[in-house]
Amino acid sequence: MPSIPRPLLPDDDGGTDVALTAALQAHAEGHVDARAVIAPLSTARLLVPVVALLTEAEVGEHGLKQEKESEIALPKLVGQDGREAVLAFTGAETLALWRPDARPIQATGPQVCQAALQEQAAAVIIDVAGPASFVIEGTLLHTLAALHGPADQIAGRLAAHGVTTTTAAPAPSPPRRRRFPWSRR
pLDDT in tens, 71-111: 778 889 998 999 999 999 999 999 999 999 999 999 999 99
- For residues 91 and 166, give the distance between their C-alpha atoms in angstroms, rounded to a whole number: 21
First to last CA, the chain: 31
Q: Report the share of the chain in percent with pLDDT over 90.
A: 49
User: 5 in a domain, yes or no?
Assistant: no
Give phi and psi for 176, each to the nearest 5.
-130, 140
DSSP letter (8 states) at residue 169 = P
Average pLDDT, stretch 22-37? Answer: 94
User: 12 in a domain, yes or no?
Assistant: no
User: 106 in a domain, yes or no?
Assistant: yes
Give the 3-state secondary structure of residue 45: strand
User: 151 in a domain, yes or no?
Assistant: yes
User: 1 in a domain, yes or no?
Assistant: no
DSSP letter (8 states) at residue 34 = T
In the chain, which ranges are continuous DSSP H helix?
18-28, 35-43, 92-98, 109-118, 138-145, 151-160
- For residues 41 and 35, give the distance between their C-alpha atoms in angstroms, rounded to a whole number: 10
Residue 107 corresponds to which amino acid? A
Pairing of strands 123-126, 84-88: parallel
pLDDT at 176 over 60: no
Q: How many domains does the chain have?
A: 1
User: 74 in a domain, yes or no?
Assistant: yes
Give the 3-state secondary structure of residue 161: coil
Peptide bond just before 10 cis, omega within 30 deg: no
User: 2 in a domain, yes or no?
Assistant: no
User: 175 in a domain, yes or no?
Assistant: yes
Q: What tens digit of pLDDT does each residue of 32-65 get?
A: 999 899 989 988 999 999 887 767 767 778 878 7
- For residues 93 and 16, give the distance between their C-alpha atoms in angstroms, rounded to a whole number: 8
Domain of residue 77 covers: 18-184
